[in-house]
Amino acid sequence: MEGLTIGYDGKRAVANNTGLGNYSRYVIDTLSVGFPSNTYRLYSPVLKENDRLAPLLARGNVELVGPSTSFGRRFGSLWRTAAMTRQMAADDISVYHGLSNELPLNIGRAAFPAVVTIHDLIYRRVPEDYKPIDRALYDYKYSRSARNATRVIAISRKTRDDLVSDYQIDPAKIDIIYQGCDPRFGLPVGYEDRQRVRAAYQLPERYFISVGTVQRRKNQMLAVRALERLDLPLVIVGNFKSDYARETVAYISSHGLSDRVMLLDHVPFADLPALYAMASFSSYTSRYEGFGIPVIESLSAGTPVIAATGSCLEEAGGPGAVYVDPDDVDAFVDNARRLSEEIYTRDKLASRGRQYIKRFSADEFARLTMACYRKAIIEKYL
């Protein structure tokens, strides 16, 4: 099947520069390069400039499309919920892909097949991180989308299993397709870049790093508590606006750790590879994830990881990480000492990690995603 016109939910690609936005742009990036004869059309209620999306739109096979009516332009959310389906039908798209857990409510009546990516059901596993109204909304939208989709993409085996157990989705209609990370994390970080980033953030010579939004589920407190028994500074890169972030900062202050913890907010994406590469190891001890892209980023940069058991992080890190219970400070301390003091252990783990994550290549991601589209088209018209 060549010359397809593939429609996408482009909202996150336009508006978000973190998780769902990164995934949306990654899909468009890999597919538009891997299958250049297709047209990739992003439907978004809002059209605005995004520096990370701009290079993709410069390609001849990628388009950004807004509402075609004044109603849609005025009521973008309603347009995305239903009217977008009619607009895509008029555009004669071959298949539609909802990139962020949901499909238009009327997609089941569309003449074209629909694929939806479900990233996780975290709101069911860690409900305290979500408002009750949000959990109810996600339950309705995501379960309905998974049932109405021709095919479902799960970003991990764990997410697939959750969809089957929680929403009774037929496992035969679910494709597990792992996401890679931005290729910049796999490029060598030169001496000049290292010195520039080290000077910009006044980094210590040795440190370990934790990257991710500072929220209760992400569990940065495990690394902070372990720090009291480690001779190694901690750099936390994330957003510090949550109640949990304030609790973490208060703990750091009250336990005399302020001079050993660096809190970095609004870090440019271009600086992250160097921050990972210069660290002795990274910490990603989240209690629950759909996959765990920071694990892949760290391993791509050649830095091993201490990750948490209990969800899907073993799928992301494989033999490039060591895994601890998210509440086991002793285990974290023991592994942190090994990784920071035993160069052979660290290098061996890093080498295994880099070898393991080759399975998350952009080419493989594009191939499997296109195969999912083809199956959806065949199944729709059987």
pLDDT of 169-179, one tens digit each? 999 999 999 99
Cβ proximity of 156 and 134 under 8 Å: no
Residue 18: predicted pLDDT: 79
Measure the CA–CA gap between 261 and 208, rounded to whole angstroms.
Answer: 10
Going by pLDDT thresholds of 50, 70 and 90, the confidence category of residue 366 is very high
- CATH topology agreement for domains 5-180+361-380 and 183-359: yes
Going by pLDDT thresholds of 50, 70 and 90, the confidence category of residue 17 is confident
Residue 42: predicted pLDDT: 97
Measure the CA–CA gap between 370 and 375, rounded to whole angstroms.
Answer: 9
Cβ proximity of 53 and 149 under 8 Å: no
Mean pLDDT (whole number) for 164-192: 95
The Cα-based distances of 256 to 20, 65, 83, 227 in angstroms read 36, 53, 56, 11
3-state secondary structure of 232: coil
- Give the number of other Cβ atoms within 10 Å of residue 120's Cβ: 23
DSSP assignment of 4-29 equals: -EEEEE-HHHHH-SSHHHHHHHHHHH
Is 3.40.50.300 the CATH classification of the domain at 183-359?
Answer: no
Specify burial of residue 209 (Cβ count, 10 A radius: 0-12, 13-18, 19+). Answer: buried
The Cα-based distances of 133 to 101, 123, 205, 218 in angstroms read 17, 11, 46, 22
Residue 140: predicted pLDDT: 96
Q: Which of 311, 269, 288, 267 is nearest to 128 (CA)?
A: 288
Quick check: 34 pLDDT over 80?
A: yes
Quick check: 362 pLDDT over 70?
A: yes
Measure the CA–CA gap between 382 and 377, rounded to whole angstroms.
Answer: 9
Q: Which of 302, 9, 33, 362 is nearest to 181 (CA)?
A: 362
Quick check: 382 pLDDT over 80?
A: no
Quick check: 85 pLDDT over 90?
A: yes
* CATH, range 5-180+361-380: 3.40.50.2000
Instruction: Map out the domains of the chain as residue ranges.
Output: 5-180+361-380, 183-359
Quick check: 229 pLDDT over 90?
A: yes
CB-based burial, 141-162: b 16+ in 10 Å, e otherwise? ebbbbbbbbbbbbbbbebbbbb
Q: Which of 208, 267, 210, 265 is nearest to 242 (CA)?
A: 265
Quick check: 2 pLDDT over 80?
A: no
pLDDT of 282-301, one tens digit each? 999 999 998 999 999 999 99
The alpha carbon of 111 is separated from its chain's Cα centroid by a whole number of angstroms, namely: 31
Mean pLDDT (whole number) for 307-326: 95
Taking every pair of Cα atoms in the chain, the longest distance, rounded to a whole number of angstroms, is 66
Structure tokens at 93: 């798209």
> Across the chain, what does the average pLDDT equal?
95
Residue 1: predicted pLDDT: 60
CA triplet 8, 10, 12: central angle to 5 degrees? 130
Mean pLDDT (whole number) for 307-318: 94
Structure tokens at 207: 């440190």
Structure tokens at 4: 């397809």
